[in-house]
Chain A
Amino acid sequence: MASIVESVLSKLMNKNVLFTVSFLVRLVLVSFGVYQDRTMVVKYTDVDYHVFTDASKFITQGQSPYHRSTYRYTPLLAWILTPNIYLSHVFGKLLFITCDVLSGHLIYLILRQRGLSCEAACRVCSLWLLNPLPAGVSSRGNAESVITALVLATLLCLELRQLPMAAILYGLAVHMKIYPVTYALPIALSLQRKENVEERRVGWWRKGLGFLLRLLNKELFLFAGVAGVVFCGLTVLFYNMYGWDFLQETYLYHLTRRDIRHNFSPYFYMLYLTADSPWSLALGLAAFLPQALLLLLVSLAFHTDLALCCFLHTAIFVSFNKVCTSQYFLWYLCLFPLVLPRLTLSPKQGVELLALWFAGQGIWLAPAYYLEFEGYNTFLLIWLAGLIFLIINSFIMVQIITHYKPSDTMQRLKAE
């Protein structure tokens, strides 16, 4: 029995087989979803997919997609999904599962670029490709796979030093979802000129000047320029088409979002109880500061390894954010396979940390279920569960940072 499993697994780790199987699995899920939606009361398709499709319908009628209430995305997404109206309702889901498998392929390419063998890269990739979470999310019609593909493509282009392409993809990624804007600092730091920092007795202001001069170089200006043009170009285009609604729903809503309804964020209950109080603004700022400080520190500490840096960036951003839903987890899970090969944790430790992460979610989901679907007043328990989840996430991140074996170049530079 064990030998059969082993032989199946080794055949699966062939690149072509792996990608074909993962695409077919997602295709089966999409088909099952269509069947379930037609025959059962509980639908497979996510509400978001209906929001996208309704918005696309407005576009085909020559109207603004923002006539669809709760459509809080770029108009580009509704435009891309217009074949949902013209061709088939299932087009969007097929697009999302394709982006999902593409994300897996980009992970494979980045791993190969970082020196992994084909077989090892396949094994790590399979953690994304055969993972039920991204497969389920994209087959249900969520658009997260589009943004994960864009972020991974940006990282791949940066690894290959294809800066114009990386900048275009980065501009597009930030336009679609705001969170990649936090990668700007690590990317800028990784593009600085590499010079030997020899003089150690120079004053701090001299060092600061040297640092700035190394940072503000031709490559950074090229990257910032191209990304800026793409982002601003798209913003101006859609502002002309849809006006203030576009800015409000795509960007401002997310930046000022104070969702007082229960979610994974540790700040949820505090924000709910102080929603109408004069302290609300000060507390919002107090919640922002730890997030900002940690993002700055991570950028300065790990910019030489962009994959680790972006992973920690997003994991910290999501864990310390004022609103956190399970869709956000995919933003850093797609980067985890890039970090995994250099972790010195044993498989047992890895499984324990994974179990801890799931336990943290379970501890939150239980009182949340009783609140929403049974009507018990479990607010205090949800608050405590949110804090526990933050502690668990922080612990896991500390373990990852502690057991990360940097690349040889990084180690040599650290030793100098």
Chain B
Amino acid sequence: MFVFFSTCTVYLVLFGSTQADENSCGLSMTWLETVSVTMDVSKNGFHRDLVTTVYFGPGFPDGLEALLVHRLPSGIYIDQYQLASLKEDTGLQVLLGSEVDLEAPAHTSEEFIVLVYPALDQGSLKATLPIHGRYHKPSLAGKRFELVEIKLPKLILRTDTCTQLISFPPYKIVDSPCTVHNLSICQWLEIQHQQEQDPVSLEIPLGDGSLVEPVCAGTLLVTLLCCAILSRSIWRHGVFLDNVILT
């Protein structure tokens, strides 16, 4: 009996040591090194699409769940009502970290966090997030566009089958909502990469602050002129019956 147990222990120790590179949740170090994230901005103008794609090598574990944690700058915003309607149409799953004011200009807004649960699309995970540019303060130095930079999101992973993630350097463990319904918190593995890609940027047109005087003067001139022309016409054709101005 003792020999049996000691043999088992030896086998377990030997077996355990050769599996040092595999996390108990099926996420192996070698596979994790094949994971990469790219991000791109499509469309033009104030209304864009932020497309994030997660590529990975073959042999991904069953029940793999991914979560993209975007930290978006104050220069753009997301319309939660548009997201709700897109959820029904395209299945886009997004959780907003905080209330986003849809109308505030950039200089009175703050960064905000968006959690995107991408869907599997032909062997990679992809998510298209509609973003909108905020109005920025007019520039005084003749700058015609403001560059808004969007950093790459953090990618965190877990598997459905997993109940307890074991710490796995250099990857650290973070807590985040398990699904978009935000009913419970799960443990996720944060995949850190060298920044393979520079942040993406989009240009937002700016008003020209140096023209403030001609614009004000021109506006007031035209409005007063139109007011004068209309007043003259009303005076001529009006029936000022009982008022005191007409003698």
> Which positions in A face B, CB cutoff 8 Å?
41, 43, 47, 50-51, 54, 69-70, 192, 197, 200, 204, 207-208, 211, 214, 260-261, 266-267, 269-270, 272-277, 279, 283, 286-287, 290, 293-294, 297-298, 300-302, 304, 312, 316, 320, 371-380, 383, 387, 390-391, 394, 397-398, 401-402, 404, 406, 410, 413-414
Q: Closest chain A residue to B86 by CB distance?
A: A41
| Contact residues in A for B227 (Cβ distance below 8 Å) | 290, 293-294, 320
B residues near A269, Cβ cutoff 8 Å: 207, 215, 219
Given A272-B138, A290-B223, A290-B224, decide whether A397 and B230 contact each other with a Cβ distance below 8 A. yes
B138 touches A300 (CB 8 A): no
Main secondary structure of the interface of A (DSSP, over half): helix
**Is B73 at the interface (CB under 8 A from chain A)?**
no
B198 at the interface (CB under 8 A from A): no
Q: Which of the residues A200, A214, A260, A266 comes within 8 Å of B219, measured between beta carbons?
A: A266
17 contacts between A and B (CB under 8 A): A47-B81, A51-B81, A267-B223, A270-B216, A272-B135, A287-B223, A290-B223, A290-B224, A290-B226, A300-B238, A302-B239, A371-B45, A376-B205, A390-B226, A394-B229, A398-B229, A406-B239
Q: Is B220 an interface residue (CB 8 A)?
A: yes
Return chain B residues, CB-CB under 8 Å to A316.
230
Residues from chain A with Cβ under 8 Å of B216 in the complex: 270, 273-274, 279, 283
CB of A211 within 8 A of CB of B230, answer no
B interface, how many residues as a size bin?
35 or more
Residue pair B102, A197 in contact (C-beta under 8 Å): no
Tell me, rounded to whole Å, the shortest Cβ–Cβ distance linking B223 to chain A: 5
Contact A372 B46 (CB under 8 A): yes
Q: Which of A41, A70, A290, A414 contacts B102 (CB 8 A)?
A: A70
In the assembled complex, the CB of B137 is this many whole angstroms from the nearest CB of chain A, namely 7
CA distance A280 to B218 in the complex (A): 16
Are A375 and B209 in touch, CB under 8 angstroms?
A: no
- Chain A contacts of B233 at CB under 8 A? 397-398, 401-402
Residue from the list B105, B205, B239 in contact with A410, Cβ < 8 A: B239
CA–CA, A121 to B223, complex, Å?
36
Residues of A within 8 Å of B220, CB to CB, are 270, 286
- Fill in one digit per residue for B220-247: 1 if any A CB lies within 8 Å of its CB, else 0: 1011101101110111011111111101
- The answer to whether A402 and B237 have CB atoms under 8 Å apart is yes
Cα-based distance from A300 to B207 in the complex (angstroms): 40
In the A-B complex, list the 5 residue pairs whose CB atoms are closest, starting with the nearest: A301-B238, A290-B227, A377-B205, A394-B226, A375-B45
Contact of A372 among B47, B215, B224 (CB under 8 A): B47
Q: Which residues of chain B are within 8 angstroms of A200 by Cβ–Cβ distance?
A: 247
With both chains docked as a complex, state the minimum distance between the C-beta of B109 and any C-beta of chain A, in angstroms.
13
For the complex formed, measure the closest distance between the CB of B237 and the CB atoms of chain A, giving whole angstroms: 5
Chain A residues in 8 Å Cβ range of B207:
269, 272-273, 379
Residue positions of B touching A, CB distance < 8 A: 44-47, 81, 85, 89, 99, 101-103, 105, 135, 137-138, 144-145, 203-209, 211-212, 215-216, 218-220, 222-224, 226-227, 229-231, 233-235, 237-245, 247
Smallest beta-carbon distance A416→chain B, Å: 9
Q: Is the CB of B208 within 8 A of A270?
A: no
Q: Which residues of B contact A41 (CB under 8 A)?
A: 89
Contacts of B205 in A (CB 8 A): 371, 375-379
Residues of A within 8 A of B46 (CB): 371-373, 375
A387 touches B242 (CB 8 A): no
Residues of A within 8 A of B244 (CB): 204, 207-208, 211
Chain A residues near B89 (CB-CB < 8 A): 41
Q: Is A260's CB under 8 angstroms from B135's CB?
A: yes
Q: Are A297 and B239 in contact (CB under 8 A)?
A: no
Q: Which residues of A contact B234 (CB under 8 A)?
A: 294, 297-298, 301-302, 312, 401
Chain B contacts of A410 at CB under 8 A? Answer: 239
B44 touches A401 (CB 8 A): no
- Determine the chain A residues whose CB is within 8 A of the CB of B103 once the complex forms: 70, 261
In contact, B206 and A273 (Cβ under 8 angstroms): no
Which residues of B sit under 8 angstroms from A51, Cβ to Cβ?
81
Q: Which residues of the other chain, A, contact B241 by a CB distance below 8 angstroms?
A: 197, 304, 413
Whether B240 contacts A300 by the Cβ 8 Å rule is yes
Beyond A276-B137, A290-B223, A301-B239, is A383–B231 a contact (Cβ under 8 Å)? no
In whole angstroms, what is the CA distance A380 to B210 when docked? 12
CA distance A47 to B85 in the complex (A): 11
